[in-house]
Chains A and B, each alone.
Chain A
Amino acid sequence: MQIFMYILLGFLVVCAIAVSVSRNLLNAIAIFMSYSLVMSVIWLLLESPDLAITEAAVGAGVTSVLFFITLKKIHAMIEMDDGGKKQEEEKEEGENEPEDQ
């Protein structure tokens, strides 16, 4: 039980650091989704099933969907499909790509 808790908490910290260092916004949001899911497992271990259900539905589900739809709205998903081509085109057009450098 204690070892399981150690592993989950370590996973949380690793996820939080990975979110901040990842260059790709889509990856960052997917990592944040897994962070929320692990958080809900931790709440199950802490004997709060209400919180676990709410976090799994809200944190991992709806929040991530909202993040994804925002990425789609700011055209950050298109770059992933076409690889580097789209980025070059955008640079030529003078638009700045949404990912930070």
Chain B
Amino acid sequence: MSRKISEESYRKTRSFRLHQWFTGEKDLFLDQVEMKPQEPFTESKKVKKKREKEKQKMLDQIYNLERNRKTGPFQTLYRVVSVLFCICMVSLFLVAVSYLPPLGDAGNPANNEVPQRYIENGLQETGAVNIVTGMILDYRAFDTLGESHVLFIATCAVLILLRLDGNKKKLQEEEASDSAHEPENDVILQTVAKIVVPPIMIFGIYVILGGHLGPGGGFSGGAIIGAGLILYLNAFGFEKTERFFTAKTYKWMCFGALGCYCLAKSYSFFTGANHIESIIPLGTPGAILSSGLILILNICVGIVVAGTMYTFYVMFRKGGF
């Protein structure tokens, strides 16, 4: 049987002190260890100045641009190692290429049943004469949808990085430095632009609309139209282009095109897995109004790409519309 000890004798035992220390009531070593109150860290102004100067000197020495430019050993080592790495890599690649099947052979493993299906049934299923367009806008339409979104997101990122709105002074400075080395109204450029821009635009529209009939499509036609807009902007300045193309226009254009694309393709979530069939008739292959949704999707992609190219240029040039 355990025996109950008195309060005083308990206080002398080790377990009580341990308990006390554990709960933090009293420091166990308070009386035993000698402790001095800490003095605040002080130093004279002179010492402080000297110390900071030394630190700055050391930093300057370590991170000296002129000296770092000349530091030999590490730079040389880095160059040698990277050249060796590249040589090893290219020799490995060449060895791999030497074991690849011969180029241009019809029996290559890449030419399996998938392209066969696309070529043999593509015209009947998609209605597009150009099999590549039929493939990327019908069989693989979701891939292209993601692609258009990549473009839109890239424009947004560039806009975030380069936008100078809300800082009028900086914007004016940027504009002044932008046009500092340019002739005001360049007659040669303006005359050439007047002649060349309309054919470029019409060619771009032709490439977009003829995407399912021949080489071309939304990506290439959009890029051509964007290049034409850039030429027009360079010749005539921002006042002329801002009459019809501002940030708001771009926003609504992209929103409309991407939304149209999404709606045109997302009905397959409700009707089942097959998103090749649509209510729009395929028409006669070779006619301009044929191949169902492909023409609409080509126009959507073309709008997004043209707006993106032009917006990239404007953001780089001016930092905001």
Contact = CB atoms under 8 A, between A and B. Distances in A.
A binds B: yes
Interface of A: 48-50, 52-54, 57-58, 61-62, 65-66, 69-70, 72-73, 75, 77-78, 81, 96, 101
A50 B298 CA distance: 13
Q: Is the interface of B mostly helix, strand, loop or mixed?
A: helix
B215 A50 contact: yes
23 contacts: A50-B133, A50-B217, A52-B215, A53-B207, A54-B223, A58-B220, A58-B223, A62-B223, A62-B226, A62-B230, A62-B313, A65-B313, A66-B313, A66-B316, A69-B313, A69-B316, A69-B317, A72-B178, A77-B181, A78-B181, A81-B181, A96-B65, A101-B69
B305 to A, nearest CB: 9
A54 B316 contact: no
Nearest to B217: A50
Contacts of B177: 75
B227 A50 contact: no
Q: Which size class do B's interface residues fall under? A: 20 to 34
Nearest to A70: B316
A78 B312 CA distance: 23
A65 B69 contact: no
Given A50-B217, A53-B215, A62-B309, A73 B316 contact: yes
Given A52-B215, A62-B226, 8 more contacts: A50-B133, A58-B219, A62-B223, A62-B227, A65-B230, A66-B313, A70-B316, A75-B177
B181 A49 contact: no
B220 A57 contact: yes
Q: Is the interface of A mostly helix, strand, loop or mixed?
A: helix
Contacts of A65: 227, 230, 313
Given A65-B230, A69-B317, A77-B181, A53 B312 contact: no
A49 B214 CA distance: 9
